[in-house]
Amino acid sequence: MLSTLKNRLTLILICIVTLVGGAALWVGQIGMRVYYEELTQQLNRNIAMYVTEEHKLLETKLGTKATIEQLSHQAMIINPIAEVYLLNPDGSINSHAQNPDTIKRHSVDLAPLQQFLQGNTTFPLRGNDPRHPDKDKIFSVSEVRSGDQLLGYLYVILGGQVYDDAQSSIALSHIGQQTATAIGLIVVASLLTGVILFRLLTTPLAQLSARMQSFSGLDGDTPPTPAEQNHNDIDTLSTTFDAMQHKIKQQIEQLQESDRLRRELVSNVSHDLRTPLATIQGYLETLILKDEQMEPAQRQDYLRTAEKSCKRLARLIADLFELSKLESGSQRPDFEQFSLPELMHDTAQEFALELEQKDLTLDIAAPTSNTLVFADIGLIQRVLENLIRNAITHTPEHGRIQLNFSETPTAVEVLVKDTGDGINQEDVPYIFERFYQSADTPNKTTSSSGLGLAIVKRILDLHGCRIEVRSIEKLGTEFKFELPTSPPRSDAA
């Protein structure tokens, strides 16, 4: 319910309007009370003085209960909410006309009274209420004197028990209900207005988020996770933007890398194609110019050299096309389960003639069982072909090549080992780069394209497999990689 921005904003609006409405009602009540107290105290500020002047008998006869009752009666005639107390000069209560059981204080703080009598105060000014031990109320006060002698104070509470009872009785009055209803209607109207405005504001945002998702292609590639489903529109928009930014950055990097590879490829191809083409052109031109002067044996030698250059050129072009397809992503592995020993024997038979010509021995491990792997059979055959051809190229006559494998709980480890020239340790990190050949590589101008190991590395990368190299100069080289025996869990599910 709270997954969209509109719903969250609506909930926030409800909370804010409710809090503001409650705060406004509370502040209004406090304000009205303060306003009433200020107005009441201002209008009745002289009530104590009037009562005192009306009854001069206080000057000669202070403190009789009959006098206080009479003063209270007179004060209540003037203002029904008034309660009269006669105080001694020290603030203690001398006499009153209230029920003794209701009196909770027996003295009154004189500081507010002195401030009132000085006339330089701001109303409302509150003083102690004898009926409440911890509550102050507005008041009126007048000094009671006999000549220059202060006899006490006439202290009048404005808003006594009668006022408290009346205030309690009208707390749920019709006016109060109307006020509460009016505030409720204002809150509801504010909420409806806010919901409409939020909908007008968030609908274009949601539409923009949907368009961005559609444009980025994220809505159909991978389903959203539960955490993403709980995001609001802004979170979704931010996530989509970040994904698009990442995707665009990747594409820019791929374009830059492709451009770099293109320039490098053009440079390497132009260099590697130039040699066989120049050889073919040179020998053919020689044949054309000196055809009548050449011996048959020399002519055959020239033709065989041109043929070798043509084969090298054909292999280079084929390898370039294959590596280009692998690196562009247009060729993806077609995984299947097949017998690895059977593939190793079939691949080895392709090199029977070349092995015989160089008097090389190829040892193939005899399988103890039908060892199955899960990979692209065509691409793995290409890996074995390139590794065996590389071993044949770099192994001198009468050497030995070993093709072996061993099983682990989750994979099969394949080993291609030779007793050839080995690789300089400085060259080992670079042998899988395109066109890389060591400066001391024998027969550098033979049919090798310089792309065989680069193709091997790319194929195994597509399978998620690593290839390791161990080599010792003059002793031989060993290539080792693993192939899975079963599909990954995600594929198997």
Query: What pLDDT does 338 receive?
Result: 92
Q: 3-class SS at 139? A: strand
Q: In this structure, are residues 160 and 83 in contact, taking their beta carbons and an 8 Å threshold?
A: yes
CA distances (Å), origin 345, targets 365, 379, 385 = 9, 16, 11
Nearest to 205 by CA among 240, 242, 172, 179: 240
Classify the C-alpha dihedral 147-151-153-154 as positive or negative.
negative
Q: Lowest-pLDDT range, 7-16, 84-93, 484-493? A: 484-493
Bridge partners, residue 267, by sequence? none
**pLDDT tens string 359-371:** 999 998 877 678 8
435 in the Ramachandran plot: left (φ > 0), alpha (ψ -120 to 50) or beta?
left
Query: What pLDDT does 415 receive?
Result: 93
150 phi/psi in degrees, rounded to 5: -85, 115
Query: What pLDDT does 32 receive?
Result: 80
400 phi/psi in degrees, rounded to 5: -135, 140
How many other CB atoms sit within 10 Å of the CB of residue 135?
12
**pLDDT tens string 124-134:** 999 999 988 88
Confidence of residue 169 (pLDDT cuts 50, 70, 90): low
Q: Which residues, in sequence order, are CB contacts of 127 under 8 Å at separation 6+? A: 108, 109, 112, 113, 116, 136, 137, 138, 139, 141, 155, 157
Query: What pLDDT does 38 receive?
Result: 86
Q: In sequence order, which ranges of 79-173 are alpha helices (DSSP H)? A: 110-118, 161-169
**pLDDT tens string 300-310:** 888 888 888 88
Average pLDDT over all residues of the chain: 79
Query: What pLDDT does 228 receive?
Result: 47
Side chain identity, residue 339:
S
Q: Lowest-pLDDT range, 102-106, 164-168, 224-228, 249-253? A: 224-228
**pLDDT tens string 438-458:** 555 544 445 556 778 888 999
| CA distance linking residue 142 with residue 154, whole number of Å | 5
Angle at which helices 47-54 and 65-78 pack, to 10 degrees?
A: 130
Query: What pLDDT does 227 receive?
Result: 45
Instruction: Give yes or no for residue 164 having a pLDDT over 60.
Output: yes
Confidence of residue 293 (pLDDT cuts 50, 70, 90): confident
Cβ neighbourhood burial of 51 (10 Å; 0-12, 13-18, 19+): buried
Confidence of residue 417 (pLDDT cuts 50, 70, 90): very high
Instruction: Give yes or no for residue 158 having a pLDDT over 70.
Output: yes
Q: Which residues, in sequence order, are CB contacts of 246 under 8 Å at separation 6+? A: none
Side chain identity, residue 154:
L
**pLDDT tens string 365-412:** 877 678 899 999 999 999 999 999 999 988 999 999 999 999 888 899
Higher per-residue pLDDT: 271 or 250: 250
Higher per-residue pLDDT: 454 or 163: 454
Instruction: Give yes or no for residue 479 having a pLDDT over 90.
Output: yes
- Return the DSSP state at 128: E
Higher per-residue pLDDT: 414 or 185: 414
Higher per-residue pLDDT: 439 or 286: 286
Query: What pLDDT does 440 receive?
Result: 53
Q: In this structure, are residues 108 and 130 in contact, taking their beta carbons and an 8 Å threshold?
A: yes
Taking residues 259-268, what's their average pLDDT? 70
Tokens 């033709």 -> residue: 303
pTM score, whole prediction: 0.47
Beta pairing class for 476-484 and 467-472:
antiparallel
Nearest to 362 by CA among 339, 388, 384: 388
